[in-house]
């Protein structure tokens, strides 16, 4: 059987980034993707940021399937009837490569895989890696069915519930508390309708995050991204909470779509795609060991997802880890040593880059974001205050402070506010 310098399992952003980095350096690389094509089994809200793409592909915006460039971010509190939003728009996000952009994984991953093939790697689709080839305790390749594929090193990029990382003894079984369930629909609308409803021009796009009734008060949130001629709409909810309350994520997205605010934005749209995905949510707490003899773990398989309440960022960390893994394999090949003593260089690179620095900076965020008041009391309080401020019932108006204090009754105490503010200061 032909031997490869490296085998990559998974052709998402992490897998494609590592394969491209290695292939460009002349390594003999094989990528396995279990989907019919790269992106077929991936669910993603849609927001990416430019610097890492610029590092790999300096003119990516001229050829990559970018839907829109984000020049507006909106964070909204929802109750069943109301919506209160913080809307940030700036001209400083007006051009690539450093602003965020919106894309669809089904298109984007296929484009990335073509770049990987152009660099000289082989990409094999509709093939699932079943097991690892072992020589003692050293990983020497993979098994697909009865076929064996030897390699000096295996890079795992197969997603959140990585069986290969489990088989290699690099991670433990995850609990439902460590995972979030994401569900998304892509809803087709005419381009001119989207631009009129969201006040967009040209390539402008908006990223919207929601907290409150969209998850029935469970830990998580909703999102909406504007594509060229469609919307990406979905919810992300803690898996443990879904199981405890016996709620289906698919029911939550229906609730979300029927919220008065969301209903108007998607009015007349046609659902063209539905997907679901597990997302690692506990950060450093659930991170597996990232390397062993003959193997590295990247992307979601390494639990490299950052959630702060304002952002849920995974694709950028995945791509950064892929680049670092590729550089590590190149380094190991130059030394002729693929032992963990050499492959630990991967973790050093992640520490030098923003990946592990960001995860350490926000290491307390996952626990803070389990606070039920964030999803129940605060959205209700914020919308109630706004309603009372803008409502005129013919009576004398109280001062804003009095409105805020009275609206807290039965929902929040001053101790809750002080306690949560202190925890937020430490966590996010």
Q: Model confidence over 153-198: pLDDT tens digits?
A: 999 999 888 999 999 999 988 899 999 999 999 999 999 999 999 9
Q: Give the whole-number percent of the chain exceeding pLDDT 70.
A: 97
| pLDDT of amino acid 374 | 95
Give the integer Cα–Cα distance in Å for 264 and 258: 9
pLDDT band for 313, please (50, 70, 90 cuts).
confident
Give the integer Cα–Cα distance in Å for 152 and 338: 7
Helix axes 13-24, 105-118, angle to 10 degrees: 10
**244 CB neighbour count, 10 Å cutoff:** 11
Q: Both ends of the chain: CA-CA distance in Å?
A: 51
Give the integer Cα–Cα distance in Å for 318 and 40: 18
> What contacts 118, CB < 8 A, 6 or more positions away?
none
**Looking at residue 310, what DSSP letter applies?**
S
Q: What is the mean pLDDT of the chain?
A: 93
- Name the E strands within 51-135: 66-78, 83-89, 100-103, 122-125, 131-135
């980095």: which residue's tokens? 21
pLDDT band for 303, please (50, 70, 90 cuts).
very high
Collapsing DSSP states into helix, strand and coil, what is residue 226?
Answer: strand
Give the integer Cα–Cα distance in Å for 44 and 181: 12
Question: Side-chain half-sphere of 57: how many Cα atoms within 13 Å?
Answer: 22
**Looking at residue 214, what DSSP letter applies?**
G
Give the integer Cα–Cα distance in Å for 396 and 390: 13
**How far, CA to CA in Å, does 62 sit from each of 53, 55, 96, 228, 336?**
12, 14, 10, 16, 38
pLDDT band for 58, please (50, 70, 90 cuts).
confident
**Looking at residue 99, what DSSP letter applies?**
S
> What contacts 69, CB < 8 A, 6 or more positions away?
93, 94, 95, 96, 99, 100, 101, 102, 203, 204, 205
| pLDDT of amino acid 97 | 62
pLDDT at 45 over 90: no
241-284: pLDDT as tens digits: 999 999 999 999 999 999 999 999 999 999 999 988 899 999 99
pLDDT at 220 over 80: yes
Structure token digits, residue 392: 């005129």
Give the lowest-confidence range in 58-62, 121-125, 326-330, 333-337: 58-62
């Amino acid at each position: 059987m032909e031997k490869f310098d490296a085998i990559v399992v998974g052709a998402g952003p992490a897998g494609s980034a590592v394969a491209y980095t290695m292939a460009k350096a002349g390594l003999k690389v094989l990528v396995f993707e279990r989907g019919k094509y790269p992106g077929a089994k991936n669910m993603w809200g849609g927001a990416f940021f430019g610097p890492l793409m610029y590092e790999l592909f300096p003119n990516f915006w001229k050829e990559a399937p970018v839907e829109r460039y984000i020049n507006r971010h909106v964070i909204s509190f929802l109750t069943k009837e109301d919506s209160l939003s913080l809307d940030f728009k700036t001209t400083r996000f007006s051009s690539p490569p450093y602003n965020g952009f919106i894309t669809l994984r089904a298109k984007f991953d296929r484009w990335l895989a073509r770049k990987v093939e152009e660099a000289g790697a082989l990409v094999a689709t509709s093939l699932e890696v079943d097991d690892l080839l072992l020589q003692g305790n050293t990983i020497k390749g993979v098994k697909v069915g009865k076929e064996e594929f030897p390699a000096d090193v295996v890079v795992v990029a197969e997603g959140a519930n990585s069986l290969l990382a489990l088989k290699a003894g690099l991670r433990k079984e995850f609990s439902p508390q460590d995972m979030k369930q994401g569900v998304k629909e892509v809803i087709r609308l005419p381009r001119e309708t989207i631009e009129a409803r969201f006040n967009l021009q040209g390539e402008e796009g908006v990223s919207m995050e929601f907290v409150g009734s969209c998850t029935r008060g469970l830990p998580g949130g909703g999102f909406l991204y504007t594509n060229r001629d469609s919307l990406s709409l979905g919810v992300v909810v803690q898996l443990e909470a879904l199981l405890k309350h016996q709620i289906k994520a698919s029911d939550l997205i229906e609730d979300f779509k029927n919220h008065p605010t969301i209903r108007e934005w998607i009015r007349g749209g046609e659902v063209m795609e539905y997907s679901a995905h597990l997302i690692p949510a506990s950060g450093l707490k659930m991170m597996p060991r990232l390397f062993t003899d003959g193997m590295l773990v990247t992307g979601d398989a390494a639990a490299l997802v950052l959630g702060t309440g304002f952002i849920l960022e995974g694709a950028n960390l995945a791509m950064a880890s892929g680049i670092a893994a590729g550089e590590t394999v190149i380094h190991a090949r130059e030394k002729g040593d693929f032992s963990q003593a050499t492959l630990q260089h991967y973790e050093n690179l992640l520490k030098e880059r923003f990946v592990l620095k960001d995860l350490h900076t926000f290491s307390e965020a996952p626990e803070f974001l389990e606070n039920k008041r964030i999803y129940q009391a605060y959205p209700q309080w914020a919308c109630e205050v706004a309603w009372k401020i803008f409502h005129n019932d013919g009576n004398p108006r109280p001062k804003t402070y009095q409105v805020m204090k009275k609206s807290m009754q039965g929902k929040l105490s001053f101790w809750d506010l002080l306690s949560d503010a202190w925890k937020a200061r430490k966590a996010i």
